A and B are shown apart, each in its own frame.
Chain A
Amino acid sequence: MTKIDIIDLLYERMGLPKREAREVVDAVFDTIKNTLIAGEQVKIAGFGTFNIRKKGSRKGRNPRTKEEVEIKPRKVLVFKASSELKKTHRESS
């Protein structure tokens, strides 16, 4: 599934013109993105939570040259599926 499939679904199931559907889908993911960039978590009830986790610096090694390098502190995005998503997922598999 890609963004285009979501747009098609909104068109087929809700009769939403594709241009509008694309605008909404873009606005939804842009808004989530900007909120996360601002450092705030995003919680979608029934789906899951996006959180920002700060990682400290640590030493790594280039596996090819075996050279030691510093991995700089960075922010990573973690997604945790909601219990509801996990549940329906488990039942259908």
Chain B
Amino acid sequence: MTKSMLTEKVSERLKELTRKQIAVIINTIFDNMKEALNKGEKIEIRGFGIFRIKERKAKIARNPKTGQKVSVSERKTIHFKTGKALHNALNKIK
């Protein structure tokens, strides 16, 4: 499923808004989520999951091709944890 298919599905469900309006709203939602993550905020969507920033320490890694040691600086990654309700639904647990 892509963003345009998502727009399609959502507009089937919400007749009072046009497809165009829904497309703008969906873009606004994800742009704002992106902004929040960039600010280091976590995003919690009940029943869906949590997006969070995790800090990774600087480390010495190896180039898998050459075996050469390279130092990797400290960095932040985006981490997603599935919500319990969604995890259970995926595994058909009641």
CB within 8 Å of B: which residues of A? 1-3, 5-6, 9-10, 13-14, 16, 20-21, 23-25, 27-29, 31-33, 35-37, 40-48, 52, 74-79, 81, 85-86, 88-90, 92-93
15 A-B pairs (CB sep. < 8 Å)? A1-B32, A21-B25, A24-B25, A31-B10, A44-B3, A44-B6, A46-B34, A75-B90, A76-B90, A77-B82, A79-B51, A85-B34, A85-B37, A90-B76, A93-B40
CB distance from A52 to the nearest CB of B (A): 7
Complex-state Cα separation, A46 to B38, whole angstroms:
13
On whether the beta carbons of B78 and A85 are closer than 8 Å, the reply is yes
The answer to whether the Cβ of B59 comes within 8 Å of any Cβ in the partner chain is no
Complex-state Cα separation, A36 to B34, whole angstroms:
21
User: Which size bracket describes the interface of B in this complex?
Assistant: 35 or more
Type the 1/0 row for B23-47, where 1 means its CB is closer than 8 Å to any CB of A: 0111011111110111111111111
On whether the beta carbons of A27 and B90 are closer than 8 Å, the reply is no
Closest chain B residue, CB of each to CB of A91: B38
